[in-house]
Amino acid sequence: MLVESAESIAETYRTGRGAFRLRALDAGGSGPRAVADRRHRNSYQVQKSKLIERLAELIQTRKIPIFADVRDESAEDVRIVIEPRARTVDPEQLMGALFRASDLEIRFNLNMNVLIDGRVPKVCSLKEVLRAFLDHRRDVLVRRAAYRLDKIASRLEVLEGYLVAYLNLDRVIEIIRTEDEPKAVMMAEFGLNDVQVEAILNMRLRALRKLEEIELRAERDALLTEREGLQAMLDSEAAQWARIADQLKEVRNLFGKSRPRVSAAPRSARPPRCP
């Protein structure tokens, strides 16, 4: 659990520098005390095997005389039972000594020194980092939309050429089969541009004969609708932020189902004492 005060956490996030104290959950009680992280096989950045080795070393060296034994009772959850040397040992004194001497309590340092502009390192507050992240998401959104609009424009240009070819299919096939310079003839006769004629000439005659007006118009209409939506989004900053909000909600739905984190709780709200 996190045992930093709200004021300390706020200051760390405000300055971009600081540390958080993380402590194993303590079930309490005057007898054997169970220390466990009930959600993960290993506590945050702490290997259970190395932790138990360290606790065993403390017993062997008698660095904490009131500490008598440690047992690993883990199953699916991590559960470590700590035995005091006598039942008269003050539980808070024992746990305080163990927190100081082992990884039952660790400090997780935070130093948000980042290339927030891509050029110069800077220690940033959490607010600045989140602002930069959101601005980046918006920049990516705008660039992707602009790229897609270019692709739509290119495809619409080709589709318009295909529609002309469909409406004049017999003449187009005749030009391709008989003319030495079919491109120039089609451009002059049908008002097509170079891109459209190249697309038609690159199709096999069999594929050209299979062109369907309904399919061509359906694809064109779908692209026109998509283009209208993208352009409306690019023209509205509010629409851009709304799209980003939707994307973040999708990310949360996909990856935000992790178990809840545990913060320091008042004594009355801590887990029940072990029997």
Of 47 and 168, the structure prediction assigns the larger pLDDT to: 168
8 A C-beta contact, residue 274 and residue 28? yes
Backbone phi, psi, residue 163, to 5°: -65, -40
8 A C-beta contact, residue 273 and residue 29? yes
Gap between the Cα atoms of 120 and 238, Å rounded? 30
Instruction: Give the single-character DSSP code of 43.
Output: -
Instruction: Give the single-character DSSP code of 120.
Output: S
Looking at the predicted structure, is the pLDDT value of residue 99 above 60?
Answer: yes
Compute the average pLDDT of residues 155-164: 95
Sequence-separated (6 or more) residues with CB below 8 Å from residue 209: 169, 173
125: which 2 tokens? 């507050």
How does pLDDT run across 191-220, given as a tens digit for each residue?
999 999 999 999 888 888 888 999 999 999
What was the pLDDT predicted at 123?
A: 94
Lowest-confidence region among 32-41, 118-127, 222-231? 32-41
8 A C-beta contact, residue 164 and residue 178? no
- pTM over 0.85? The answer is no
What was the pLDDT predicted at 34?
A: 54
The closest of 10, 34, 33, 32 to 20, measured between CA atoms, is: 10
What angle do the packed helices 213-234 and 237-255 form, to 10 degrees?
100
> What amino acid occupies position 223?
L
Tokens 């040397």 belong to which residue?
85
Gap between the Cα atoms of 50 and 78, Å rounded? 13
8 A C-beta contact, residue 156 and residue 223? yes
Looking at the predicted structure, is the pLDDT value of residue 269 above 60?
Answer: no
Lowest-confidence region among 7-16, 53-62, 125-134? 53-62
Looking at the predicted structure, is the pLDDT value of residue 267 above 90?
Answer: no
CA-to-CA separations, 247 to 139, 155, 227, 234, 251, in angstroms, rounded: 14, 27, 19, 16, 6
Looking at the predicted structure, is the pLDDT value of residue 30 above 90?
Answer: no
How does pLDDT run across 64-75, given as a tens digit for each residue?
898 888 888 888
Q: Label the pairing between strands 80-84 and 33-36.
A: antiparallel
Gap between the Cα atoms of 136 and 95, Å rounded? 46
Looking at the predicted structure, is the pLDDT value of residue 273 above 60?
Answer: no
What was the pLDDT predicted at 74?
A: 83
Q: What domains can be seen in the chain, in order of their start residue? A: 6-111 (3.30.1360.40), 125-255 (1.10.268.10)
Tokens 């984190």 belong to which residue?
261
Compute the average pLDDT of residues 37-50: 62
8 A C-beta contact, residue 59 and residue 70? yes
CA-to-CA separations, 82 to 11, 32, 72, 129, in angstroms, rounded: 35, 6, 9, 42
Tokens 């004492």 belong to which residue?
273
